[in-house]
C-alpha cells in the first residue's frame, strides 16, 4: 500500500448550516450508470437512498448532519447541500447561496474524493489500455470511478459486516445496525451510529441486534472501541500505520485492511489480492484458477493504477461489457 495522503475527515468543521448547490467538474468520460450502480450496491437501508440518477445521504458536520443529494449523469454531477435538513433532496426549501462559500469547499472536496472525480481517464487508458489482461476492459469502460468514502468509520464498519458474505447481506446487517443504534436525522434518514455508541453497547447487544456471529460482533465492537479510544481512520499516521492498526484488531485481516486502503485512504495503487470475486474474475481472463499470491504478482503490471484495474475486474464480474 502506498503512502497515500489523509483521505477523509471524521467531521467537517462547519460552524453554521450550509445550503447551496454546486456542479462538480470532472474529466469525461464518466460512466454514470456504473457509479450509481456502485452506490446502490453499497447503500445502507435507512441511511442512503438511490433513486434513478439521484443519491441521498447524510454527511457529518460540526453543526450536525447535512443532507447531501448527488445527481449523476454522464454529462454532469450536481450536488445539493441542505445543512439544516429543511429541503427534500431536490433543492426545495434551500434558501442558501447558489454559489459555494469558502466554508463549503471542504464538503465539495470530500464529495469529489468519494466519487473519484479528479481521476484522469486518459492517463489510465494510456497506462492500462494495452494490457493483455485488463486492457480490453479499460478500453470498453474508460469512465469507471473507484468509490471512496464519506465516513471512514461507517465504511470500516460496513466492510467488517461484509466479510465473507454478499453485498446484499452486508447491507441487511447495516440496516439492522442503523435501526438499533442510529439516531433520526434530516430528510427522513438515520445517522450512522458513532463509534462510542457501539463501543458502549458491547458485543452481545450488537450480536443480538444485527444477527451476527459472536466472533463478528466482537470484531465490530473492537473496531468501534479502538476508534472511540482515538485510533485514526483518516490515514493521518500514514498508510503503513493505518494498515497495521487495523490488522492488530481481532477478526480484521489483509482483505479488510487492503479494501479500506482503497476506499478510505483513496490509494489508487491499492489492491485486494485475497478477494474471491477478483480472483475468479482474473482467473476467467487467464483461463485458470488464481491464488492470492498470483493475483498480487499479476497486479504489478498495473501500477500505479492497481485499484482501477481491480474495479474493472470487479465490474466485469458483475456484468459483461
Got the DSSP string for 163-187?
Answer: TTS-HHHHHHHHHHHHHHH-EE-GG
pLDDT in tens, 119-163: 999 999 999 999 999 999 999 999 999 999 999 999 999 999 999
Residue 52 forms part of a structural domain: yes
In a domain, 61, yes or no: yes
Chain mean pLDDT for the chain = 90
C-alpha distances (whole Å) from 315 to each of 85, 134, 164, 263, 319 are 34, 11, 19, 16, 6
Q: What is the pLDDT of residue 95?
A: 41
Q: Write down the pLDDT at residue 58.
A: 96
For residue 59, is it within any domain?
yes
pLDDT on residue 13: 45
Residue whose C-alpha is closest to residue 99's, from 81, 118, 76 = 81
- Residue 84, in any domain of the structure: yes
The vertex-195 CA angle with 194 and 201, nearest 5°, equals 95
Give the model's pLDDT for residue 19: 85
The CA distances from residue 251 to 162, 172, 223, in Å, are 12, 20, 9
Are 252 and 240 within 8 A, CB to CB?
no
The region of weakest confidence among 79-93, 120-134, 205-219, 220-234 is: 79-93
Q: Are 108 and 100 in contact (CB under 8 A)?
A: yes
pLDDT tens per residue across span 22-31: 999 999 999 9
Cell of 218: 466482537
Mean pLDDT of 98-107: 68
> Residue 64's pLDDT is what?
86
Q: Band the pLDDT of 269: cuts 50, 70, 90.
A: very high
Q: Reply yes or no: is the peptide bond before residue 29 cis, omega within 30 of 0.
A: yes
pLDDT of residue 22: 95
Per-residue pLDDT, 15:
42
- 303 φ, ψ (degrees, to nearest 5): -65, 145
Q: What angle do CA 40, 149, 292 make, to 5 degrees?
A: 85
Mean pLDDT for the stretch of residues 55-80: 94
Q: How many domains are there within the chain?
A: 1
| pLDDT score of 286 more than 50 | yes
With cut-offs at 50, 70 and 90, classify the pLDDT of residue 5.
very low
Cell numbers linked to 88: 427534500
For residue 80, give the 3-state DSSP assignment: strand
Give 153-198 pLDDT, tens digit per residue: 999 999 999 999 999 999 999 999 999 999 999 999 999 999 999 9
Expressed as residue numbers, the domain containing 115 is 19-119
Residue 67 in any domain: the answer is yes
Q: Are 309 and 135 in contact (CB under 8 A)?
A: no
H or E segment to which residue 22 belongs: strand 19-23
Q: pLDDT band at 103, cuts 50/70/90?
A: low
**What is the model's pLDDT at position 14?**
43
CATH number of 80's domain = 3.30.310.20
In a domain, 175, yes or no: no
103 contacts 131 by C-beta, under 8 angstroms: no
pLDDT for res 310: 98
Q: Are 298 and 133 in contact (CB under 8 A)?
A: yes
Higher-confidence residue: 12 or 83? 83
The answer to whether 80 and 68 have CB atoms below 8 angstroms apart is yes
Q: Is residue 57 part of a domain?
A: yes
What is the residue whose three cell numbers read 461484509? 162
pLDDT in tens, 231-251: 999 998 899 999 999 999 999
Evaluate whether residue 83 is within a structural domain: yes
How far apart, in whole angstroms, are the C-alpha atoms of residue 256 and residue 272?
9
Position 49 pLDDT exceeds 70:
yes
More confidently predicted of 106 and 260: 260
pLDDT > 80? residue 85: no
The DSSP output letter for 238 is -
Q: How confident is the model at residue 93 (pLDDT cuts 50, 70, 90)?
A: very low
Amino acid at each position: 500500500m502506498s503512502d497515500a495522503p489523509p483521505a477523509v475527515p471524521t467531521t467537517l468543521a462547519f460552524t453554521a448550516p450550509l445550503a447551496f448547490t454546486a456542479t462538480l467538474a470532472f474529466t469525461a468520460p464518466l460512466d454514470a450508470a456504473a457509479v450509481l450502480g456502485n452506490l446502490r450496491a453499497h447503500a445502507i437501508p435507512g441511511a442512503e437512498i438511490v433513486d434513478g440518477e439521484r443519491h441521498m445521504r447524510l454527511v457529518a458536520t460540526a453543526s450536525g448532519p447535512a443532507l447531501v443529494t448527488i445527481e449523476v449523469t454522464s454529462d454532469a454531477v450536481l450536488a445539493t447541500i441542505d445543512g439544516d435538513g429543511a429541503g427534500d433532496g431536490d433543492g426545495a426549501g434551500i434558501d442558501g447561496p447558489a454559489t459555494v462559500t469558502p466554508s463549503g469547499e471542504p464538503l465539495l472536496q470530500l464529495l469529489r474524493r468519494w466519487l473519484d472525480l479528479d481521476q484522469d481517464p486518459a492517463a489510465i487508458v494510456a497506462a492500462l489500455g494495452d494490457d493483455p489482461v485488463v486492457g480490453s476492459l479499460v478500453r470498453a469502460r474508460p469512465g469507471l470511478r473507484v468509490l471512496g468514502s464519506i465516513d471512514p468509520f461507517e465504511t470500516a464498519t460496513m466492510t467488517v459486516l461484509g466479510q465473507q458474505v454478499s453485498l446484499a447481506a452486508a447491507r441487511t446487517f447495516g440496516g439492522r445496525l442503523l435501526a438499533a443504534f442510529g439516531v433520526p436525522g434530516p430528510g427522513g434518514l438515520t445517522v450512522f451510529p458513532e463509534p462510542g455508541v457501539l463501543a458502549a453497547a458491547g458485543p452481545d447487544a450488537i450480536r443480538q441486534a444485527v444477527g451476527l456471529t459472536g466472533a463478528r460482533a466482537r470484531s465490530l465492537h473492537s473496531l468501534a472501541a479502538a476508534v472511540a479510544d482515538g485510533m485514526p481512520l483518516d490515514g493521518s499516521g500514514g498508510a503503513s500505520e493505518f494498515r497495521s492498526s487495523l490488522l492488530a484488531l481481532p477478526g480484521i485481516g489483509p482483505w479488510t485492511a487492503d479494501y479500506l486502503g482503497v476506499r478510505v485512504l483513496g490509494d489508487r495503487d491499492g489492491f485486494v489480492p485475497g478477494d474471491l470475486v477478483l480472483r475468479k474474475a482474473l482467473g476467467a481472463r487467464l483461463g485458470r484458477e488464481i491464488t492470492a499470491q498470483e493475483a498480487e504478482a499479476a497486479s504489478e503490471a498495473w501500477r500505479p493504477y492497481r485499484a482501477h484495474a481491480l474495479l474493472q475486474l470487479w465490474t466485469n464480474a458483475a456484468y459483461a461489457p
